[in-house]
Structure 1
Amino acid sequence: MPSKKKGRRNESEGGGPASLSQLLAVAVRPSSQETAIKDICGMLGIPNVNSAKGLEQCHESFDACRDYRARNRVSSDSLAAVIIAIYGRIGQHNTLRRRVFSETQFLVHATSLLSSPTVRGVVIGTLLRVTTFKDAEVARFTPIFLDYVRQAPSGRVKDVVSILCRSTTAAISQANPELGLVARASLPRVLQLSFDTIRLPASTPLAFFHFVHLCFEISKSPYRHVLHSIRFLVDFLIACTRAEDASFRFFGLRSLIELYSESAASNCLGPAHIELREEYDGIRSFASEMEGMAELAELLNGFDQHAHQSQCDLGHALSELIQWNELVWRQLNEQQLGILETCEAAICRNASSTEDNITADILHVVNLLRKEPRQVAAFAQASIERHPSVPFFHYAMTVQPISSSEIYSSIVFAEKGLQCSSITDFLRRSLLAHVANCSYRILAMMLESEPGEFGLHQVNVLMKNISSHAAAFSQIAPVDHPLMPLMDTHVIHLEILAKGNTLTDELTELQTARDKLRSTCEVHYSVAEAFQPPKNSLALDHIFDRMPTAWRLWRQVISRQPVQTYRADAVPETSSDTDEFVAVLEKLAEVGPNVRFSDIQPAASSGGPRPKAAVDRYGVARLHCCSGCGAPSAVLKECVGCLNARYCDKTCQRRHWPALRKACKANSV
């Protein structure tokens, strides 16, 4: 309160602008500058952060400063010291700072007051240091920043350009109409300016990351047409891959991967994407010149030095790099053991870290090396002997077995890891998730096979393993865990196999294992966590998409069952659905593999009307194979003649016409 009265008394006695002029005249003298600045701030009411009049006085003060400079011809450089000090005082009070920066006019006054670009850069740098606004709000000042960087020193430009990239990216991603207009008007200049800046010798990988991130956001925004000159970006990334600094080569390769994947997934770059595709072919041929092990080791060492600056994950980025360059790594079979040893050394360096996910991500590299499962398991066991304190059971999760015997071997190795007392909670959950995913794969193999083809002994061993870990599964899997309906459908499958066979004991044992797992999950449901399969595993939806026609038809039958079918005590409606599925299989054997479900659907059971062409939650009914080339697709054209075939293009359809010329070609004309 005393400061507020003092400010009013000074203002009244000095006559407003006149007293301000007197204080400014004193402030330009170095000997009395500090005292004058304190008086100016006190007169403007800046210490009173709740004063609405303080903001008005700030505007008046800058108007007075402009008038005073015109009348007395005061140097802008001398006056800048006063303005910087005022901004510094404003920056100490969050409430007033936010109110000041919410108005662009205030910043315009501050910058237009200074004619010298160098001094203007000092003021802008001070403003950026004291502001705590989000990047999107800073985008309001993009025109002022662009005007400043024309003549500012290169050292200042680098910091401002980094802020420009982040603020423009945030403004685009927020889809704010007002900020979007500002960002749209300045996008070409920001892109070119950023590109010129990151080519400077003093540029950093972090600035490069901001620039690439901005390009990604533009490619997904309504302003993507400004990327018509995307060739300069690709050329620059290729140049980065040839730089002397290992970290720049790493970022260049990783960004090329991301840029191509983002543009291909969004399919929004138009001609620019075609141009990038041409460049991508050249990138792959360039990548074939890499030096294998030496390059990977150098990338590991280079990234360790820049891990905190880059804000990227080593294991995830390396896995992307090797996956993108998969053809090269396939030619390095004799060096794969050396790559495993390099990864082992990286794990041991991070053994004391509490971030277990970093260790798992690094080991994801092993999965992409296409190593034989048995050799990977042998290497993991040897690693455990060499480093007893580091649990190398991660390798069980990195194996991608193909045959059912290899899957069982992976499950057995994972169970050994679960029995180890030194593993962390994260690793225990990951190993359990790996067992679940192996179970999915075996069930998928079984359901994909013909009746009687899959070994019942292996199925029962699988179910025993699952039921033995029921308590552990229940802590990571809720009641509606995807494994439960798969087990229920497997019961139906065994009932189909049991027709004409003596499989009563096996079926009873399987039902007991399923009921045990369900009851245990229900007990622990209150503490169950949502199941998150590891990112290096085969997703359940992906498995369903790869099923043959028989499996997709079966899923359609199962999906139409009422919810109460999946209960722990019984499966009351199994018989009718099993009969329906058998009828579907019999009809399928007559008409061929590429047929619509609505064409072969049997009569509805007594349970009530059923939809004609039901589509389950995985959308499997929309996935068909071309009758000509056999390629799966969700967009196929029906033959207008026979209505029993679907094609992806006219070439495949013409191949179909000679066989059924009268029934198809005549009717299609």
Structure 2
Amino acid sequence: MPGPSSQNKKKRKTPSTSSAVASSASGAGTFTIPEGLFADIDDGATWQATVEMLCRHFELPDLTTRHGLKKVHAHFDRLYSRLDSAFVTAEKRGIERAMGGIVGIWSKMCADAILRDKLFQKGLLSRIMPILNIDSTRLMGLNALALVTHHGGVHARTEIAKKNLQLIQLMRAHPDDAKVMELVTVTISHATGAVLALDETPDPRVVKAVNVRDVMQTTMENIRKPIASHYMIDHAISLFINSTQHCPKECAAAPGLLNLLVALLRSSNLGVRCQALCGIIRYTASESQFDYQNFDPQRFIAMFQRGGVPPHLSEILVDYGMERAEITMTIRASVDYQKAMMRAAQDRNLLSLGETLAGLIQRTEYSIAEGGFQAEDARGRLEIMDVGLPFKMWTDSLPCCARELRKRGLPGDLDAADVLDLKFFIMRQRVRDAIDLAERALARNPELTYAYYALSMGAEHERGLRAVKKGLKCKKVTPFLRMNMLWRAIEHAGDMGTTTLATAREGEGKHTEGVAFLMSAWEDAKTFTAEAPPDNRHMMGILDWYILLTLAIKGPELSTNLSELAAAQRKINSAAEFMGMLGLAINKTQTRLARMLILKLYSKASEEWGPFVQHFDEMNASGGEALKPLSSSQADDDLAAWLENMQLDDDDDDEHGRHPCTHPKISTSNVALYRCSWCSNPSAVLKKCGGCGKTRYCDGVCQKKHWSDHKRDCKKA
């Protein structure tokens, strides 16, 4: 291993001035370089031997261990001054191997984040870039850039990304050098990803400096070359995916790029398919809209009374069951709501009104509408009147009735009161108050289904998903609440799955967690589309998710004309007609735009890129060698092994020992490890049963509810 061991760390005698050369660098201090050092380096047979010689001479600790890097921290300024002075002297005298060896030592130090930042502040990049133009040191410089960008650091990666144009020019100057093409692509992928793989909009000036358009076009040209390695193509795909959200125009301008991402949905590797799906969804972000609906039940009833339901849509509802249709439920709830208010104006019984309203709230979404008791004024105009109740506007009846129910306190009154208050908070868009109340209600009664639904309204996907999964397991779940909780579960799990898979590149566990989310969303989407009323306002959005998830999960099992999805596409058409009839807008959501784009390009993309994807899969299936960087010589192999080797003292081995962009072989068979044994909620932070150590739960609530089913197996274990 480079770096002297303890027995080799004897202090060297300082050479006399007659046998040494004085060298200084601006800001680096002065250090005396022995003449014999450069002579020995010139005789070095390999890069590894050169680096080892330099490490021994500069009395460097073992750079492959955390302990060694801590010693560099303690003496950083002195060690850097020596190395930089030696680099400047070697550069002046044209001793290329010494320059490359010192760059190799610096790049090794970059495994430590603090050292990396210090080296970049000292100008490490200005030392690396010149050696890329020297034949003998080019690969050392490129290896250094790839290693530095591998180990991360937004600042370091961003600074390297600004050199993209120079790296592209280097690649173009050596079009037949597979190693140069590979290392440049790896470096650009890592560095550009730090700039573009963000949720927030990156600095436009930095994006411009990154030269995304040239990067995309050149990389697209290179992946088609026969010399392109699996390692290089894998990083190229990661580059494309990271660029889709913030640079959609540049991606669209690169010939074949979008078709490639769509074609990758037919890869035999589930991880690759999921990554491609994430890239396509992100590509639609700039043109997408929020799926906000403003539904007026009174307007709908008036429209329905005028024209009714078109015959072909009526047939669909009759086949499903007109009594269970959204239209029927909404009209009945609206009529019952008005009757309840009129009765309350007569009998002043807020307890009876509260019980009725709590039941209506759990029957349909738009059961409670704004309104009031009206009468004509002296001028014949309608105005809201006071009929002697503690409210004028009907929605204000909800907290009034809730207070009366809590005062009486009979069994079921507290549940009904919580439902009324939760609905009131949701209608007033007081989401935080709704979540706080839902948590208190569930602490009192873990079987209150509506509280789980309200809890899912929060912005935190993980919390919302856990809530609806538990709610779906409650003993009393109305059809309305069941469909709405499935809808929330699909939205939460789908978003979490795509987000996780778009950013998870550091090991199989994170990828599998993302796949577990997608599998959960897919299973719930199948249930929703099979059970929900055809006129459900969420049907079209869930069908979007269902098609996208089916493409990612089924992959090459689907035909190139997607005949398996024909029924789903027909349902989308009818769902669009129902939305038009209900007066609902069909917004351009990300999932909708992604679904439309994929269906438009799928057949052509499969034909254009099918052989490429098959070749990529074959290389992936070949195992370890295909996943490793190329080597142009044994010397390069030795150097690469040393640069990558880290014997860390903590749990960060994966970060440094595994390439972050390599797609592991993932299957749907191991996602059960990420699902709660009671409610099937997918999560990476489940708790194991203390008895058997096998079953997993979200928390003690799920474990308690599952105990009657699990106790026999648990005791056996």
Interval of TM-score (by shorter of Structure 1 and Structure 2):
0.3 to 0.5
Q: TM-score, normalised by structure 1?
A: 0.39
Bigger Rg over Cα:
1
Greater relative contact order, per chain length (Cα 8 Å cut-off, separation 6+): 2
TM-score (norm 2): 0.37
